[in-house]
Amino acid sequence: MALVNIHFLNLQNNYLFADIAKKVNAFKVMHPKADVISLGIGDVTQPLAPAVVEAMHKAADEMATAEGFHGYGPEQGYDFLREAILKNDFLPRGIHLDIDEVFINDGAKSDTGNFQELLHWDNFVGVTDPIYPVYIDSNVMIGRCGNYRDGRWTNVRYMPTTAENGFMPELPKGRPVDVIYLCYPNNPTGTVITKQELRKWVNYALKNDALILYDAAYQAYIRDPEIPHSIYEIRGARKCAVEFHSFSKTAGFTGVRCGYTIVPKDVSVSTFEDERIPLNQLWLRRQCTKFNGTSYISQRAAEAIYTPEGKKQIQATIDYYMDNAQRMLNRLRVLGYEVYGGENAPYIWMRTPDGMGSWQFFEALLYGANVVCTPGVGFGPSGEGYVRFTAFNSHEKTEEALNRIEAWSKK
Ligand SMILES: *Cc1c(COP(=O)(O)O)cnc(C)c1O
C-alpha cells in the first residue's frame, strides 16, 4: 500500500495567490467590463534587457552546432557565471568567496524551499512574521512545524515585524531557535535591515550554533549605501549563514529561471555526537542527486547581466520600478494612508484604514477601485491589518491605479 506523506495534508489548503485569483475571477464574472489593475502578485512586467536577449540568442545558436552544443552542465553551474558573480556581487563589497561556494540554481524558490532537507526534522525554525510563505510551507512538508492553530504553526517561532517595532524583529527569547529565515530587503514589507541589526542576528547564530538562511532576492533594489546587500558583509556570517540570490527581480528572470546560492565552506551543523558536518559538501551531494543544473542558455543570459551594457540596462529597469514605488509612497501618503517600505524594495506595505482586516480591505479595494493588492495576513499572522502593493506594473497602470484609489478614498 502506497502511503501519503501526511505532512502534506497539514498544509493550509490554498496558496495565497490562488485565493486571490479566485476572488478576482469571481469579481470579473460579475463585472465583465471592469478593467482590473493588479498591484498584487510579485511578478515583473518589463521585457528582458537587450544584452540578456542577445546572449540567449547567441547561446541558442551555439547549441545548434556540434562544437557549441551543451548537454548536461555541471550541477553547481558553469564557471563563467560563478566567476562573474564573485567578481561583481561580492568582491566590490570586500567579500572573498571561493568559486566552490557558489551554486547556480534555477531560481531562489527552489533552493529556499529545498535547503531545509539537509537539516534534522526536529530543528526549531524561526521566521520573521509576515514572511514569504515558501519558508514555512517547505518545513511543513517535512513535518517540522507542528500543527496549525489560529493562523500559526505550533512549532514555529514567529518574530513579528510591524510598524510598532519599526519592522525590526527581536532576537528570540526562551527556547533557542536552530534555523532562522531572514529576507532583506523584505518581501512583503519592503523594509530593510541595517548592518548593526543584522550583526545582532549573526552574533545570535554564532552564540547559539544556529543557521541563518538569508534570502537576498531583492538586494538589487537597495539604494541606501549603508544597507548591506549580503549577510557576508557582517563578520562571522560565513560561519553561520547560507544566502540565496535570484535574477528574477534583479533582471526580470521570472520566466528565464536562474539565481544562485552561497554555501560557505565554514558553515557546518552538528550531529547528536557533536561531529561537525559542513553544509557545502552536503548541499553539493544533494544537488548532484536531485538537480541536473540550470540551462546553459539561462546561465549565459545571467552572465550578460554583468557586462557593462547589461548592468546599465537592468539598472534602468530597476529604476523604472522604483519610480513606481516612489509615486505610490507619495500619493498614498498624501491620501493619509500609513505606508512603509518602497525605498529600497519594490514593495509598499500599507496599514489598512480604520482597523479593517486585510481581506476586507482587499475586497473593498477590488470592488471600489478595481485594483488588486495582496492581503498582508496571507504572509503570516502579523500581516493582519496590512496589504502589500507591488511596484512591478507599468508607469501608466500604476498611475491609473493610484488615480482610482484616490477617487475611491475620497468617496
Ligand atoms: C521572488 C522571490 C524569490 C525568487 O524566486 P525565483 O524562484 O528566483 O523566481 C525568492 N525569495 C523571495 C522572498 C521572493 O519574493
Question: 81 with 104: CB under 8 angstroms?
Answer: yes
- Closest ligand 1 atom to residue 258 Cα is 8
Question: How high is the pLDDT of residue 231?
Answer: 98
Q: Among 17, 248, 258, name the best residue to mutate to test ligand 1's pocket (greatest count of ligand atoms within 8 A of Cβ).
A: 248
Ligand 1 lined by 44 (C-beta under 6 Å): no
Strands 276-278 and 102-105: unpaired
Q: What is the pTM of this model?
A: 0.97
All cell numbers assigned to 219: 538586494
Q: Which secondary-structure segment (H or E) carries 37? A: strand 37-38
DSSP-derived letter for residue 270 is E
User: What totals of helices (H) and strands (E) does the chain contain, helices first?
Assistant: 13, 17
Question: How high is the pLDDT of residue 14?
Answer: 64
The angle at the Cα of 259, spanning 253 to 261, to the nearest 5 degrees, equals 165
The mean pLDDT values, 10 residues at a time, for the chain of 411 residues are 95 80 95 95 92 98 98 97 98 98 97 98 96 94 94 95 97 96 98 98 98 98 98 98 98 98 98 97 97 97 98 98 98 98 98 96 97 95 97 97 97 84
The angle at the Cα of 31, spanning 30 to 37, to the nearest 5 degrees, equals 125
pLDDT over 70 percentage in the chain:
100
Residue nearest to atom 6 of ligand 1 (CA): 107
- What are the pLDDT digits (tens) for 56-107? 999 999 999 999 999 999 999 999 999 999 999 999 999 999 999 999 999 9
Helix (H, G, I), strand (E, B) or coil at 284: helix
Rounded Cα distance, 164 and 129, in Å? 13
Ligand 1 lined by 107 (C-beta under 6 Å): yes
pLDDT over 90 percentage in the chain:
96
Question: How high is the pLDDT of residue 13?
Answer: 66
Residue nearest to atom 4 of ligand 1 (CA): 108
Ligand 1 lined by 238 (C-beta under 6 Å): no
Distance 133 CA to ligand 1 centre (A): 11
For residue 118, CA distances in Å to 270, 283, 301 come to 11, 7, 30
- What are the pLDDT digits (tens) for 283-324? 999 999 999 999 999 999 999 999 999 999 999 999 999 999
The residues, any chain, with a CB within 8 Å of residue 375's CB and separated by 6 or more, are 16, 20, 358, 359, 361, 362, 383, 387
Question: How high is the pLDDT of residue 12?
Answer: 83
- What are the pLDDT digits (tens) for 387-409? 999 999 999 999 999 999 999 99
